[in-house]
Amino acid sequence: MKNLEEKRKNISYSLSYQKKKGGYLLRIGSRQSSKHLRIYQKRNGLEFELEIKKQETKKLQSFLFSNQLETFEDSSIRCYYEYLWNYLVFENPFTEWLAVGGRKLRVNRFLSDSLALSYLKPKLARDIYQNFDKKPETLCFIQLLSFLDQRKDKIQILERSLGFVKIHFQAEDFFNFLGISLDKCDTRKLAKIIDIMHGQSPRMTVFSETPVEKKFQSKSMLVNVEFTQIRKGPFTGEIVIAEEIYQYRYPYYLPESILFLPTYNDYYRNSMVKIKLLFIESYSSSAVEKRMQIKAFLSQFRRSNQKIAKIKKEILSIFNDLQKKGLIDSRFKLVSETGKEDKLTKLYTSSFTKCDTICFYEKIQSKEIKLH
């Protein structure tokens, strides 16, 4: 209740105990409004019920009466999630499901290219990231998945078989997505990129069954990667990848500041790979509160104070970009080795030397929805 008061001081709510049902009932919003939320305490957890009426009902019923059932279902679900996003607190286990479910409704709102990112915990994502070890190869593989997710309009599916799809695309489109000029990428570099992508791909078991046979196959998620150039024509790419991965809906999209890498200075480039993977690892949690182990990360750089200062500046720059893009809010928590917490509304490079862990918070919903 205290958290609810802090989040929305201008909303009406009431908490009462229901003797017959043996649990509490929390009401949020006025019963005279177009939306009214009730949360029931049940023996095995909580039950969330949103009542929609008046103008809000008319908006939805028009889809139902015109037999637009998918639109009706999608609009109803969005209405439910958007209301709860605005009036509930997410930093507790009772509402984490709301953040996870609601992210499935998101679309990639970046006009420019972005990094598609999944959770580290669920099985599919765990399979993708099972070799997650802050290596450049890991970032390259995630970049490939991002390209396949966001460039479906430029990709041709050649065939489907046993849970895999063979796809065809222009190599130039892929390298433009990565911010790399294909003209400057010689065949040796192309061969290295292919080797990186294929070698980083985790394995998965494919099972198929027909009336006459059962078949198990253990395959890499990325079975085959080819880049071909006929005479002096353009390079074309061909990939065989697990269809489950190709069709996967990603809950997060991170901006160009994490997608792209600098093309100069090998030491600086390698440092940036580590910084970007640090953000990927931290942001990939399903919880709204993200935790970054900043002290352990900085301890690996045994360089001059000037270079350490540059690394801190890059980290701060990405934090600022995530805020500017509306992906995280202006709450930060510095946690020391002893567990002492220091809450801030703004980070500085000096903040990174004062703690073991930085906690920052995903911005679930930036649009304010007022109760009527």
> In Å, how far are 184, 235, 254, 346 from 349, measured between CA atoms?
35, 44, 22, 10
Q: How many CA atoms lie within 13 A of 74 on its CB side?
A: 8
In a 3-state reduction of DSSP, which class is residue 50? strand
- CB neighbour class for 221 (10 Å; exposed up to 12, middle 13-18, buried from 19): buried
Q: What is the pLDDT of residue 134?
A: 46
Residue pLDDT, tens place only, 253-309:
888 888 877 655 555 677 888 888 889 888 988 888 999 999 988 988 876 788 889
Residue pLDDT, tens place only, 210-236:
444 555 555 567 777 777 878 777 888
Strands 115-117 and 156-161: unpaired
pLDDT at residue 354 is higher than 50:
yes
Please name the residues in contact with 146: beta carbons below 8 A apart, sequence gap of 6 or more: 113, 114, 115, 116, 177, 259
pLDDT at residue 45 is higher than 70:
yes
Work out the average pLDDT over 26-51: 87
Place of tokens 């720059």: 317
Residue 179, phi-psi category: left (phi > 0), alpha (psi -120 to 50), beta (remainder): left
Least confident of 121-130, 213-222, 297-306, 362-371: 121-130
Q: What is the pLDDT of residue 312?
A: 94
Q: What is the pLDDT of residue 229?
A: 78
In a 3-state reduction of DSSP, which class is residue 330? strand
In whole angstroms, what is the distance from residue 359 CA to residue 310 CA?
21
Work out the average pLDDT over 176-196: 66
Sign for the CA dihedral angle at 282, 248, 253, 68 comes to negative
On whether the CB atoms of residues 183 and 227 are closer than 8 A, the answer is no
User: Which pTM value belongs to this model?
Assistant: 0.75
pLDDT at residue 343 is higher than 90:
yes
Q: What is the pLDDT of residue 141?
A: 76
Note the helical H segments in 88-209.
96-103, 123-128, 136-150, 171-177, 187-200
Q: What is the pLDDT of residue 321?
A: 93
In a 3-state reduction of DSSP, which class is residue 148? helix
Q: What is the pLDDT of residue 127?
A: 46
pLDDT at residue 369 is higher than 70:
no
In whole angstroms, what is the distance from residue 307 CA to residue 302 CA?
9
Higher pLDDT, 69 or 199: 69
Q: How many CA atoms lie within 13 A of 167 on its CB side?
A: 26
Q: What is the pLDDT of residue 237?
A: 84
In whole angstroms, what is the distance from residue 10 CA to residue 197 CA?
52
> What torsion, rounded to 10 degrees, do the Cα atoms 296, 276, 307, 196 define?
100
pLDDT at residue 125 is higher than 90:
no
pLDDT class for 186, splitting at 50, 70, 90?
low
Give the closest residue to 148 by CA, choosing from 127, 168, 164. 168
In whole angstroms, what is the distance from residue 285 CA to residue 103 CA?
12
Higher pLDDT, 110 or 113: 113
Q: What is the pLDDT of residue 231?
A: 77
Work out the average pLDDT over 137-149: 80
Q: How many CA atoms lie within 13 A of 95 on its CB side?
A: 16
Which amino acid does the sequence have at 5?
Answer: E
> In Å, how far are 327, 346, 347 from 332, measured between CA atoms?
13, 7, 8
Work out the average pLDDT over 38-46: 87
Work out the average pLDDT over 116-126: 59
In whole angstroms, what is the distance from residue 91 CA to residue 142 CA?
28
Q: What is the pLDDT of residue 291?
A: 92
Q: What is the pLDDT of residue 210?
A: 47
pLDDT at residue 318 is higher than 90:
yes
Work out the average pLDDT over 86-92: 77
Q: What is the pLDDT of residue 139?
A: 77
